[in-house]
């Protein structure tokens, strides 16, 4: 700082001491760069925030259509409640994947399979037990719970979560 005594801004303008404290004219370029960088970061954060509803809609739609296709391929039919549940499940998986980026994929897949099983139980109790639509029935599966969930399908959800979580990297926001 001693070689900067002659051209330090704070010495020439003591009134601005609080806002320009100890900045030399030689540091002006870095101040401008910092300001521009902060402004660019704010604009990026704003655009990410603005894009969030579109991103969520796209993810939901992929889950909606993707699960419907899976059901039609394996069962030959689907129900509208399964389409909505598929969208909600994929949206939740992407949220968890974004929130816990550093967690091992096997742990995320385990949590994902439990989340999907929880969705399946909730939707099953409403759609199958309350409204009697009889969309599915796991009563013939070992260790089923009210015919709505069973360990076999929780394991299948785990296997499905592995490629879904790997694919969710595409939708992850980079900081």
- In this prediction, residue 157 carries a pLDDT of 97
| Structural domain contains residue 119 | yes
- Two structure tokens written together for 144: 């089923």
Instruction: Give the torsion sign (CA, 131, 134, 138, 139).
Output: positive
| Structural domain contains residue 151 | yes
Instruction: Say if CB 161 and CB 93 are below 8 A apart.
Output: yes
- In this prediction, residue 175 carries a pLDDT of 38
| Structural domain contains residue 137 | yes
Tokens 């609080």 locate to 18
Global pTM? Answer: 0.70
**Structural domain of residue 126, as residue ranges?**
53-171
| Structural domain contains residue 9 | no
Mean predicted confidence (pLDDT) in 14-19: 50
Instruction: Say if CB 61 and CB 91 are below 8 A apart.
Output: no
| Structural domain contains residue 5 | no
| Structural domain contains residue 76 | yes
pLDDT tens, residue by residue, 86-103:
999 999 999 999 899 999
Q: Is the pLDDT of residue 23 over 60?
A: no
| Structural domain contains residue 162 | yes
Mean predicted confidence (pLDDT) in 33-56: 71
Position 133 confidence tier, pLDDT thresholds 50, 70, 90: very high
Position 159 confidence tier, pLDDT thresholds 50, 70, 90: very high
Report the number of distinct structural domains present in the chain: 1
Judged by average pLDDT, the poorest of 24-28, 31-35, 87-91, 97-101 is 24-28
Q: How many CA atoms lie within 13 A of 159 on its CB side?
A: 6
Question: In the chain, pLDDT over 90 holds for what percent of residues?
Answer: 62
Judged by average pLDDT, the poorest of 31-45, 115-129, 135-149 is 31-45
- In this prediction, residue 29 carries a pLDDT of 58
| Structural domain contains residue 33 | no
- From the list 123, 105, 117, the residue with the least C-alpha distance to 144 is 117
Q: Is the pLDDT of residue 12 over 90?
A: no
Q: Is the pLDDT of residue 21 over 60?
A: no
């Amino acid at each position: 700082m001693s070689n900067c005594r002659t051209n330090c801004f704070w010495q020439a303008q003591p009134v601005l001491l609080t806002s320009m404290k100890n900045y030399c004219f030689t540091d002006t370029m870095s101040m401008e760069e910092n300001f521009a960088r902060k402004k660019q970061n704010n604009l990026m954060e704003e655009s990410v925030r603005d894009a969030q509803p579109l991103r969520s809609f796209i993810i939901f739609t992929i889950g909606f259509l993707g699960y419907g296709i899976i059901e039609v391929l394996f069962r030959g039919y689907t129900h509208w409640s399964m389409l909505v549940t598929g969208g909600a499940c994929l949206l939740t998986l992407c949220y968890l994947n974004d929130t816990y980026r550093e967690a091992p994929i096997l742990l995320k897949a385990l949590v994902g399979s439990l989340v999907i099983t929880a969705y399946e139980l909730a939707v099953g109790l409403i759609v199958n037990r309350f409204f009697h639509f009889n969309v599915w029935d796991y009563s013939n599966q070992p260790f089923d719970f009210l015919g709505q969930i069973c360990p076999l399908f929780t394991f299948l959800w785990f296997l499905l979560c592995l490629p879904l979580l790997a694919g969710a990297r595409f939708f992850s926001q980079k900081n």
